[in-house]
């Protein structure tokens, strides 16, 4: 039998369950309670930041990620999450710096490679983007978003054969056969193969 969770852990766990179900306001309320009891609970800040990010309240998410990193500086995923916020604000240099730090902490973090590759792509640095996205799919061959983003970066770089290979990998690994992206990717392949 497992240990009984503390009151703080109970609030965090309840918040996680609500967040998974899409009730971000309910999740935030539970993380607030956890933080009220233990202001040094970095996980509550990280998870509340995630909930705020899902509500598109990026300023609040950023405050929470910064608070969490002030408590625990060696959590790679917190840097990735904060990088997402910077990228969503088109602050790509800051995002890349966070992804770099995440990769220093966890060199096999496919999410960090994919996110950094996406940021490089947004900055039109396609060779760097492709290198990172390639690394992401080497680490996790089922990472469909990385395959799709790699295909787009390859296409923009004029590397059409690689783009088609990436798009085909996306199609092989996409489990939701009703995804609207399926038709989009098939059209991309058809256009490139003409």
Among candidate residues 108, 113, 110, the one with its CA nearest the CA of residue 95: 113
* Structural domain includes residue 159: no
Query: Which residues, 6 or more positions from 78, have their beta carbon under 8 angstroms from its beta carbon?
Result: 42, 46, 65, 68, 69, 72
* Structural domain includes residue 13: yes
* Structural domain includes residue 27: yes
Count of domains observed in the chain? 1
Q: Which domain holds residue 41?
A: 1-73
* Structural domain includes residue 188: no
pTM of the model: 0.90
Tens-binned pLDDT, residue by residue, of the chain (194 aa): 345 569 999 999 999 999 999 999 999 999 999 999 999 999 999 999 999 999 999 999 999 999 999 999 999 999 999 999 999 999 999 999 999 999 999 999 999 999 999 999 999 999 999 999 999 999 999 999 999 999 999 999 999 999 999 999 999 998 888 888 999 999 999 999 88
Domain of 55, CATH number, reads 1.25.40.10
* Structural domain includes residue 80: no
């Amino acid at each position: 039998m497992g240990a009984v969770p503390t009151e703080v852990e109970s609030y965090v766990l309840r918040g996680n369950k609500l967040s998974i179900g899409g009730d971000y306001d309910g999740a935030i309320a539970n993380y607030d309670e956890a933080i009220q009891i233990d202001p040094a609970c970095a996980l509550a800040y990280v998870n509340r930041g995630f909930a705020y990010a899902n509500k598109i309240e990026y300023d609040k998410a950023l405050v929470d990620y910064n608070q969490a990193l002030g408590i625990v500086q060696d959590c790679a995923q917190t840097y990735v999450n904060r990088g997402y916020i910077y990228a969503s604000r088109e602050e790509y240099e800051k995002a890349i710096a966070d992804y770099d730090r995440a990769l220093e902490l966890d060199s096999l973090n496919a999410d960090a490679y994919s996110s950094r590759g996406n940021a490089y792509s947004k900055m039109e640095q396609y060779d760097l983007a492709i290198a990172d996205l390639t690394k992401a799919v080497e680490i996790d061959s089922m990472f469909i978003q990385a395959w799709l983003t790699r295909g787009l970066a390859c296409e923009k770089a004029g590397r059409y054969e690689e783009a088609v290979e990436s798009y085909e990998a996306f199609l092989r690994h996409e489990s939701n056969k009703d995804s609207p992206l399926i038709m989009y990717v098939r059209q991309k392949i058809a256009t490139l193969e003409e």
